[in-house]
Structure 1
Amino acid sequence: MKMKNKYSGFIWLVVLMCALATGLSFLDRQVLSISIIEIKGELNINDTDYGLINTSFLVGYAIMFTLGGILIDRFGSRKGLALSVALWSVATFMHGFADNFYEFALFRFILGVGEGGAFPGVIKAVVEWVPKKNRALANGLAIGGSAFGAVVAPPLTVSLMDSVGWRGVFFIVGGIGILWTLIWLFFPQAKSENNHLNKELSNNRSDVPPLRKQLLGLLKSKEAGTFILIRFLLDPIIYFYMFWIPKFLNETKGVSLEIIGNLFWIPYLALGVSNIFGGFVSDIVLKKTGDVNLSRKAVMGFAALLTASAIFVRYTDSVGVIILLLSSAFFAHGLWITNYITSIGDMFGKNSSSTVVGLSGTAGALSSLIVNPFMGVIIYRFSYNPLWIYAGVMYSVAFIIFTLAIPRIKSISNSLTKSIRDERV
Structure 2
Amino acid sequence: MTPFRVPTRSWILLALLFAVGLLNYLDRQTLSILKGTLREALGMTDTNYSWLIGAFMAPYIVFYVVSGRLVDRFGTRLSLGVFVGVWSLANMACGAAGGIGALAAGRMLLGAAEPGAFPAIQRVMMTWFPVERRAFAWSLLSPCTTLGAIIAPPLIAWLTGHWNWRGAFIIPGAIGLFVAAAWWMADKNPPVFPSEAARPEPEKPAPMREILRDRRVWLLLAVRAITDPVWYFLLFWLPGYLQERMGLTLQELGWVAWIPSFAASAAVMATGRATDFFVGRGRRPVRVRVTMFVIAACFAPVGVLTTFAPSLFWVLAVFSVMSIVCQIWFFGQSLLVADVFPKTSAATMAGLLGAVGATGGLILNVLAGPVIERFGYLVVFSTLAVLHPLAAALLFRNTRRLEGAPAPAADGKEITA
User: Normalised by the shorter chain, which TM-score bucket?
Assistant: 0.7 to 0.9
**Aligned partners of 2:383 and 2:158: how far apart in 1?**
35
Q: 2:119 — aligned with what?
A: 120
**Aligned partners of 1:77 and 1:351: how far apart in 2?**
11
Deviation of the 1:395 alpha carbon: 0.9
Aligned: 1:302 with 2:295 = yes
- Return the match for 2:413 from 397, 415, 421: 421
Flag the 1:263–1:89 CA change in 2: closer, same or farther, 3 A: farther
Q: 2:17 — aligned with what?
A: 18
Q: 1:268 — aligned with what?
A: 261
Tell whether the 8 Å contact from 1:82 to 1:185 is kept in structure 2 after alignment. Answer: yes
Q: Deviations over 1:196-254 (max 9, x none)?
A: 77xxx999996256632xx3333233322111101112222222222232133223332
Task: Output the amino acid matched with 1:391.
Answer: L
Deviation of the 1:398 alpha carbon: 1.5
The structure richer in helix per residue is: 1
TM-score (norm 1): 0.76
Flag the 1:288–1:183 CA change in 2: closer, same or farther, 3 A: closer
Flag the 1:371–1:332 CA change in 2: closer, same or farther, 3 A: closer
Q: Which moved more, 1:406-415 or 1:132-141?
A: 132-141
Q: 1:177 — aligned with what?
A: 173
TM-score (norm 2): 0.77
Q: 1:251 — aligned with what?
A: 244
Secondary structure of 2:247's partner?
A: coil
Task: Output the amino acid matched with 1:207.
Answer: P
Q: 1:71 — aligned with what?
A: 70
- Return the match for 1:219 from 212, 219, 228: 212
Q: Which moved more, 1:246-255 or 1:234-243?
A: 246-255
**Aligned partners of 2:374 and 2:96: how far apart in 1?**
31
**Aligned partners of 1:60 and 1:349: how far apart in 2?**
27
Deviation of the 1:118 alpha carbon: 1.3
Q: 1:45 — aligned with what?
A: 46
Q: 2:86 — aligned with what?
A: 87
Counterparts in 2 of 1:131-142, with a 5 A limit? 136=134, 139-142=138-141
Task: Output the amino acid matched with 2:116.
Answer: G
Aligned: 1:411 with 2:412 = no
Flag the 1:306–1:39 CA change in 2: closer, same or farther, 3 A: farther
Q: 1:161 — aligned with what?
A: 157
Tell whether the 8 Å contact from 1:33 to 1:246 is kept in structure 2 after alignment. Answer: no
Tell whether the 8 Å contact from 2:206 to 2:411 is kept in structure 1 after alignment. Answer: no
Counterparts in 2 of 1:340-419, with a 5 A limit? 340-350=333-343, 352-379=345-372, 383-404=376-397, 406-408=398-400, 411-412=403-404, 414=406, 417=409
Deviation of the 1:100 alpha carbon: 9.5
Tell me how large the CA RMSD over aligned residues is.
Answer: 4.3
Q: 1:29 — aligned with what?
A: 28
Deviation of the 1:313 alpha carbon: 2.2
Which segments of 5 or more consecutive residues in structure 2 lack a partner in the other structure? none
Q: 2:272 — aligned with what?
A: 279
Task: Output the amino acid matched with 1:421.
Answer: K
Percent identity of equivalent pairs: 23
**Aligned partners of 1:109 and 1:315: how far apart in 2?**
41
Task: Output the amino acid matched with 1:211.
Answer: A
Tell whether the 8 Å contact from 2:19 to 2:179 is kept in structure 1 after alignment. Answer: no
Secondary structure of 1:117's partner?
A: helix
Q: Deviations over 1:354-391 (max 9, x none)?
A: 43333222221232343433334444565444432332
Task: Output the amino acid matched with 1:362.
Answer: A
Secondary structure of 1:329's partner?
A: helix
Which segments of 5 or more consecutive residues in structure 1 lack a partner in the other structure? none
Flag the 1:318–1:285 CA change in 2: closer, same or farther, 3 A: same
- Return the match for 1:194 from 158, 176, 189: 189
